[in-house]
Chains A and B, each alone.
Chain A
Amino acid sequence: MYPKEIEKYLLKVQKPGRYVGGELGEVIKDKQDVDVRFAFCFPDTYEIGMSHLGIKILYSLFNEKPYIWCERVFAPWIDMEEQMRAHDIPLYALESGDPLTDFDFIGFTLQYELSYTNILNMLSLGGIPVLSKDRHDLNHIVVAGGPCACNPEPITDFIDIFFLGDGEEVDLEVIELYRDYKRAGKSKEEFLRAAAQISGVYVPALYDVTYHDDGTIAAITPMDGAPATIEKRAIMDMDSCYYPDNFVLPNIEIVHDRAVMEIFRGCIRGCRFCQAGFLYRPVREKSVDCIDRECHALCRNTGYDEVSLSSLSSSDYSQVVPMLKRLNAWAKPEKVSLSLPSLRVDGFTDDILDEIKSVRKSGLTFAPEAGSQRLRDAINKNVFEDELINTCRVAFEGGYTTVKLYFMIGLPTETMDDVAAIAELGRKVVDTYYSVENRPKGKSPRVTVSASSFVPKPFTPFQWEPQDTMPMLREKQQHIRQSITTKKITYNYHDSDTSFLEAVFARGDRKLNKAMLLAHQRGMRFDSWGDCFSLQNWLDVFEACGIDPAFYANRRRSFDEILPWDHLDYGVSKEFLKRECERAYASQTSPNCREACMNCGAKKYGGGVCFEKR
């Protein structure tokens, strides 16, 4: 229910449906009946936030508890923000229409670094002081989780609690603690100190960080009995892990409007650039029985006729074909189509193609990431050219004409020859199309080559690496363009400016809080949107704060430097990451978790792929 007074302004903004709630499946409770009100905030637009699986899981999980009412809040687009600021309408939650100040918890999900300014903007639009130290009472506790919580140092001044790892258990434990402390009339400080004792909870205010003269970290010291390292939480039994049997069904078009079934967490692969591949170790699968049951219920309850079987690399599910057959037993007759996103090149077998053929012929997407085999070996992307070509052949024979290939530039050890090989690989795919005899008649192939800029991330073997400077990245972008000789290839590249800012924040330390605050005060937000992002504005902010962004983005760290996230433990050891980094320098691949265990450290969680029979 939206506040009545906004009605007058809704027709002045684009897509007013973003701001009114009232969807089927939204949870409405009586606020008198609940002890804890939780505002689940997604720091981006409604269409993006509503497409996100994490929010769907936690929203339903929290609302299953009679004493919690969890509501949704999204970042208003700039036109709506203008109306809200002009007419003193505070940011409100979609279910109740109540402002953020009515909530006990204000929780953010940290999906990408460029959404940080939106967090500050949402707090201020909601009338909540942005700085943690300015919020004194035991209410308006600002919490955050999600992948970027693995190095949340640039936003430690604003957030009271970070959740590390899987949220399903730890979030509820903290909410329950809050309920007890609230009843007992305790202070915010007492609550935070007690919360810090829960595994997976990081209370940044309880850690003191000191620096050397050169700006690197001298020490990270816990205070008030907080643990020296904070370990992420990992749910080991996925079959008993909560999964929603219904979603909030949007009334307006969103980015991904379909049922989503999570089939496993983690990834066996260990691609060295991929943060998710390390953060979510070890791989933990749901059983086919469980997927079948949960997926069918979800499709029935939502009415969706398309379900995406989601994971970091869906064809790596150990029972992929039996699972697809099992699902299709009801999905086919009920006219529900299955899709397998993030399909690997080598995962595209005839068996799988048979089961998902009904989905769509719009195109295939593969991510070889690097053009040359040498560089693919260095990044441990174990994809071989002949596999890619064979897969494309299978697809072309099956009637596909469109292939999208995703690459990265600026990868460690990359040379200009590696860069040119990107164009070369695109050309080979085009040639493959013409070599297929029963290719679609009279159609020419469309091969899209996309190049994004590599951003080194914490908890990866490349966490010590410098990012290529922007001039270097631009030169590589142009080098690909010049190397493409056929019109059948469409070439896109992502703006290197945003990648640079992402690199600054991904491996930033607490000194960046100052810049974040200043950027917010200067009205910056929606940095992930071309309409709003300005690198120059950010460079001005850094200069005003005496910060050199290259220190974070373009500097090579030594293996023995204390990194800003060294007190956080995601299961993968620093020793393992060093070993993997050195293997990258030697262009040497590593086997995946199913082939051989590389002793990354995640075995300590006591389950998952680490204990499968090899």
Chain B
Amino acid sequence: MTYPIEQIRADFPILSEKIRNKPLVYLDNAASCQKPQAVIDSIVKLYSHDYANVHRGVHTLSVRSTDLFEAAREKVKTFINAQSEKEIIFVRGATDAINLVAQTYGKANIHAGDEIIITAMEHHSNIVPWQMLCEEKGAILKIAPMNFDGELLMQEFEALLNPKTKLVSVVQMSNALGTINPVEKIIELAHAKNIPVLLDGAQAIPHTIVDVQALDCDFYVFSGHKLYAPTGVGVLYGKKALLEAMPPYQGGGDMIRTVTFEKSTYAGLPHKFEAGTPSIAEVIGLGSAIDYLNTIGMDKIAAHEAQLLTYATQEALKIDGLKIIGEAKEKGAILSFTLGKIHPHDIGTMLDSLGIAIRAGHHCAMPVMDFYKVPATARASFAMYNTKAEIDVLISGIKSLIEMFG
């Protein structure tokens, strides 16, 4: 079956928007994806017909809301093939999930002199929470290096593993470079030394089939908004035994079993980590996004995006002076580039005037910019709804702006 690109594009109302009188070419998907009508409708339907707080009332609407909310948890569980819905913790996003692990698992298990390993290509959200923890505990953050193609140096990574290593936290797909890391191998090596592994799947999950049991990762985190779902919702997956042993994160309503002024006892999984009223509509929207993706098929989406990346890379390389930042053999749908003296911000403004949305900046990965000795890059990132024709618009836009700069 051919990929139903026309139908998919029609499913995303914003794609027919005009920007500066030009058809929108949305290539900033790594920052956040657009939402299909099905997701928008699910939120409108909830607020119009089914909304109330969850887990708190006996009245009809509360039951409806709770059922929809818990159904979304079930959908996430199936989508990433977790063993149990108890392993699916709803949080605000990938950042929140990593902070949760740092503040609970980290605080309980990481002590002075212990080591945490991350990589040279992490997003700030997988650097700073560990730095804060290390500072507090007197632990040490170790950085596994990469080569200039943006590939992790596996021998060096392996050499970092030692009895003091208490956690490995790595990005599955880099948002600044597009690199897809050999996470199976990383997990195998770490597990051989009984070290747990957290995968930052924020970028990977919209582009690949994720099976946390096959991966055997200990924690997996992602954000809904990069998976065609609303902002304000993300997921922490953790192996049940690990989550059960962890102290709670925030205290409040929903996360307790009993409260007295002397002592409180905590709820079981997953509620132990979900203090307070959650992002109800957003969680339900995430469930709808997953339903939508399942109707297309993640394998087909991945194949479509791989074609787009190959085409974009091939055309970009024909442009004199264009340098691709991140040329790993295993790469997801991200094209990060520089144009010599033309600053990425100028590239961003100029492409915007042609209706093309790209990201210009350090992509919350300043250490990656330092490594390549550039202040910033321009980044085009592709999603399920992008087309070769849009890449042609991008490439011709880049050529014209080079001409204008002279």
Q: Do A and B come from one complex?
A: no
